Amino acid sequence: VVATIDGMAPLERLRNVFEIGFLPDELLIPAARWAPWAAAALLQLIRRVPPRVLGWVLPHLAGSRDGAALNPPPLSLLATHREVMSGGVQGMVEEYRHYFGSWGFDLPEIQQPVTIWQGEEDTLVPMKHARRLASLLPNSTLRTVPATGHLLPVVMAKEILDDLAPRPRN
């Protein structure tokens, strides 16, 4: 079994980029595609974000349930941000570049079972992306989680890992 958690569907048109509810991503996706140097410069600025600014941004990505788990933001989340950014920004530029346009494969060809986890209050990756992924993946299950936003794994980690755990064969 494979899972996506608050994952974006392919952004096939430029207007799809602006469905995302987070201004930095709305800037970074087109920049990475057409001006990677500009995306790298913006990510270098974000790389130096002090913890208090990150603490301000995170609640805007959360729903009521996962937001409560972030007050105050756990130190591990801040450490994760530092770790992600410690190796530089080129990998992130490449990731943002791939959000827009062809992914190099067709989602309907994927036959592996996929569970799509989506927080109903996710403002970063709206529910329409989960529905679009579910419609494109022939063997998918859409699991929506009430009162959670983009930080759904903060409160649903056990359930997600249990869902991914191998099942004993009869």
pLDDT in tens, 102-140: 888 999 999 999 999 999 999 888 899 999 999 999 999
pLDDT confidence of residue 72? 66
Residue 170 inside a domain? The answer is: no
Q: For the chain, how many structural domains are there in total?
A: 1
**What is the pTM for the complete model shown?**
0.83
Position 30 pLDDT exceeds 90: yes
pLDDT band at 78 (very low <50, low <70, confident <90, very high): confident
Residue 17 inside a domain? The answer is: yes
Residue 169 inside a domain? The answer is: no
C-alpha 53: how far from its chain's center? 19
Residue 114 burial (10 A CB sphere; 0-12, 13-18, 19+): buried
CATH assignment at residue 117: 3.40.50.1820
Range of the domain at 87: 2-164
- Considering only residues 83 and 146, tell me which one the structure prediction assigns the higher pLDDT: 146
Q: Which residue has the tokens 């004993």?
A: 168
Q: Is the dihedral of CA 33, 77, 54, 85 positive or negative?
A: negative
